[in-house]
């Protein structure tokens, strides 16, 4: 059976790092098995869904290199949900309920006060036909709940968590349809997974109880619609948390825009999130195929996965240092050739820093004030400068022999005079880029300052 996974965001906001990670795992699971990765836009909430977010989700996935093999939109699939709902109603698996939100909240408080779990008491099932008719006559429109089967435990072998078992009597019959006829998440998702042939549902561990409910929905739908039973495989990954070990609101707003603003490469994001929360080391791996070859659900742990900005920056920096000139030539300031890129690359943490480092070549630079002794030394350097295959090596060798200077005293005044900085690119690579005439001019100006 071809592996088919799905990523199902709601277009009520931008993707954040948590659901980017979910999308990535589903993309990797599909690609590892030669399968298909589908995008399902969960836009049943018409009031909150916005087309600009749909476009942003597509753009972000493309930027990250995870373009889907197909796309579905729940807003275009309402007839399927209506048909499934009617089939379940005919089978006695959904029922109307008339409690208001305030009444349900009062019930929960009473149950908690008695030390009982705050699950729905199925009060609507105890109503008589006359009582329901009276509610309807009052203009009270019902919401609809899916009736869980309490006869058998709900079990599945989770791809991350192992054997799972739920007593359905400890779960509330979930509301699947609001009084205004709009859908909640549960039923449309199950209907879509069946219709789209989803073989693997891979999502966060906050959906574990949803899975228990949806397994019964799958079974009920198969029976009601006379379809062969092919339950998806389920796996639930540990949630993403901040480096302090707590759920972070910041992670909910940290998305592709924030990464692009910081000039974080998409390859760095993929490299980090692909292995975060697994037993495998997080490494600066630019080739997604290497990550795919090592993807294995058995390596995922149960402990929360800690997202750390510093680790992402470390990965990004390492990837920048691996990047070849041809891969970034169109993003570099005018004038930087392969030699220039090779010279400044070790000093970069992001590609956008290239312009600032290239200024050491193009100028202007501002050298510090030098002591009288160092000015005399720099004047001697300007006279000793000779051009050849290795002008920096030749210059420092001549000065070392002629002045007796060595180490910091030999090198630092030269670097400061030529670049205006105490550190930076290798001078052996940088000096030829500055050029003989400009280098001599800078040394003379520093000597005269």
CA distance 222 to 163: 23
Q: What 3-state class would DSSP assign to 48?
A: coil
- pLDDT at position 128 is 95
**Lookup: tokens for 391:** 């002008």
How many other C-beta atoms can be found within 10 angstroms of the C-beta atom of residue 428?
13
Interatomic CA distance for residues 386 and 290, integer angstroms: 47
Q: Looking at the predicted structure, is the pLDDT value of residue 263 above 70?
A: yes
DSSP state of 33: T
Q: Is the pLDDT of residue 247 over 70?
A: no
Distance CA 132, CA 130 (A): 5
**Comparing 228 with 156, which gets the higher pLDDT?**
156
- What band does 246 get if pLDDT is binned at 50, 70 and 90? low
The neighbouring-strand residues paired with 4 are 36
396 in a structural domain = yes
33-52: average pLDDT: 95
Confidence band for 169, pLDDT divided at 50, 70 and 90: very high
Radius of gyration of the chain (CA): 32
What pLDDT does 228 receive?
79
**Please, what is the end-to-end C-alpha distance for the chain in angstroms?**
77
> Binding site: residue ranges?
249
Backbone angles phi, psi at 271, to 5 degrees: -60, -40
User: 5 lies in a domain?
Assistant: no
Q: Is residue 353 part of a domain?
A: yes
- Which of 206, 187, 1, 6 minimizes the C-alpha distance to 93? 187
**Cis? peptide before 331, omega within 30° of 0:** no
List CB contacts of 354: < 8 A, sequence separation 6 or more: 328, 331, 332, 333, 336, 341, 344, 348
Q: Is residue 376 part of a domain?
A: yes
In a domain, 104, yes or no: no
> What pLDDT digit, counting tens, does each position of 267-309 carry?
999 999 999 999 999 999 999 999 999 999 999 999 999 999 9
Find the mean pLDDT for residues 236-259: 84
Is 375 part of any domain?
yes
Looking at the structure of the chain, the number of domains it has is: 1
Pair of tokens at residue 354: 């290239």
Q: What are phi and psi of 13, to 5 degrees?
A: 180, 180
**Whole-number percent of the chain with pLDDT over 70:** 99
Residue 338: predicted pLDDT? 97
Determine, yes or no, domain membership for 70: no
Q: How far apart are CA 131 and CA 144, in angstroms?
A: 16
As annotated, the binding site for ATP includes: 249
Q: 4 pLDDT exceeds 80?
A: yes
pLDDT averaged over every residue in the chain:
95
**What is the pLDDT confidence band of residue 250, given thresholds at 50, 70 and 90?**
confident
The enclosing domain of 358 has a CATH number of 1.10.10
pLDDT for res 248: 67
Neighbouring C-beta atoms of residue 264, cutoff 10 Å: 21
* Local structure of 405: helix, strand or coil: coil
Residue 6 pLDDT: 98
Take residue 115 and report the two structure tokens written for it: 């030390």
Q: Which residue has the higher pLDDT, 443 or 116?
A: 443
Q: Which domain holds residue 429?
A: 328-449
Q: Mean pLDDT, to the nearest integer, of 368-394?
A: 96
364 is a domain residue: yes
- pLDDT-based confidence at residue 253 (cuts at 50, 70, 90): confident
User: Higher-confidence residue: 178 or 244?
Assistant: 178
**What is the per-residue pLDDT for 312?**
96
pLDDT digits (tens, 9 = 90+) for 202-241: 999 999 999 999 999 999 999 988 787 889 999 999 999 9
pLDDT single digits (tens) 413-442: 999 999 999 999 999 999 999 999 999 999
**CA-to-CA separations, 164 to 100, 208, 251, 363, in angstroms, rounded:** 33, 9, 29, 65
Residue-level pLDDT at 252: 76
């Amino acid at each position: 059976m071809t592996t088919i996974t799905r990523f199902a965001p709601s277009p009520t906001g931008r993707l954040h790092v948590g659901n980017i990670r979910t999308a990535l795992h589903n993309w990797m699971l599909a690609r590892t098995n030669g399968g298909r990765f589908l995008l399902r836009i969960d836009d049943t909430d018409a009031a909150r869904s916005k087309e600009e977010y749909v476009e942003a989700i597509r753009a972000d996935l493309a930027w990250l290199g995870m373009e889907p093999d197909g796309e579905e939109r729940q807003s275009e699939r309402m007839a399927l949900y209506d048909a499934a709902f009617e089939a379940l109603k005919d089978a006695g698996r959904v029922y109307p309920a008339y409690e208001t939100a305030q009444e349900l909240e009062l019930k929960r408080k009473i149950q908690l006060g008695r030390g009982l779990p705050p699950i729905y008491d199925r009060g609507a099932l105890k109503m008589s036909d006359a009582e329901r008719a009276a509610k309807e006559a009052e203009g009270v429109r019902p919401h609809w709940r899916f009736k869980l089967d309490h006869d058998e435990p709900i079990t599945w072998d989770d791809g991350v968590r192992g054997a799972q078992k739920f007593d359905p009597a400890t779960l509330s019959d979930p509301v699947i349809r609001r009084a205004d006829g709009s859908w909640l998440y549960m039923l449309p998702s199950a209907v879509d997974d069946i219709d789209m042939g989803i073989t693997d549902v891979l999502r966060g561990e906050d959906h574990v109880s949803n899975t228990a409910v949806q397994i019964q929905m799958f079974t009920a739908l198969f029976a009601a619609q006379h379809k062969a039973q092919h339950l998806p495989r389920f796996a639930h990954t540990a949630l993403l948390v901040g480096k302090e070990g707590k759920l972070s609101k910041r992670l909910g707003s940290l998305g592709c825009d924030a990464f692009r603003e910081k000039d974080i490469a998409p390859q760095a994001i993929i490299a980090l999130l692909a292995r975060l929360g697994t037993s495998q080391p997080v490494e600066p791996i630019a080739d997604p195929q290497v990550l795919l070859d090592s993807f294995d659900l058995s390596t995922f742990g149960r402990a929360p996965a800690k997202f750390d900005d510093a680790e992402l920056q470390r990965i990004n920096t390492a990837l920048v240092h691996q990047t070849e000139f041809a891969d970034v030539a169109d993003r570099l300031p005018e004038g930087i050739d392969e030699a220039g890129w090779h010279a400044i690359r070790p000093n970069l943490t992001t590609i956008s820093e290239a312009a600032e480092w290239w200024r050491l070549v193009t100028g202007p630079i501002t050298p510090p004030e030098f002591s009288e002794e160092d000015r005399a030394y720099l004047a001697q350097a300007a006279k000793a400068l000779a051009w050849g295959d290795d002008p920096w090596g030749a210059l420092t060798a001549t000065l070392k022999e002629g002045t007796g200077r060595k180490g910091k005293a030999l090198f630092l005044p030269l670097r400061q005079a030529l670049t205006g900085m105490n550190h930076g690119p290798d001078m052996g690579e940088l000096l030829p880029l500055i050029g003989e005439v400009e280098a001599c001019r800078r040394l003379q100006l520093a000597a005269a300052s």
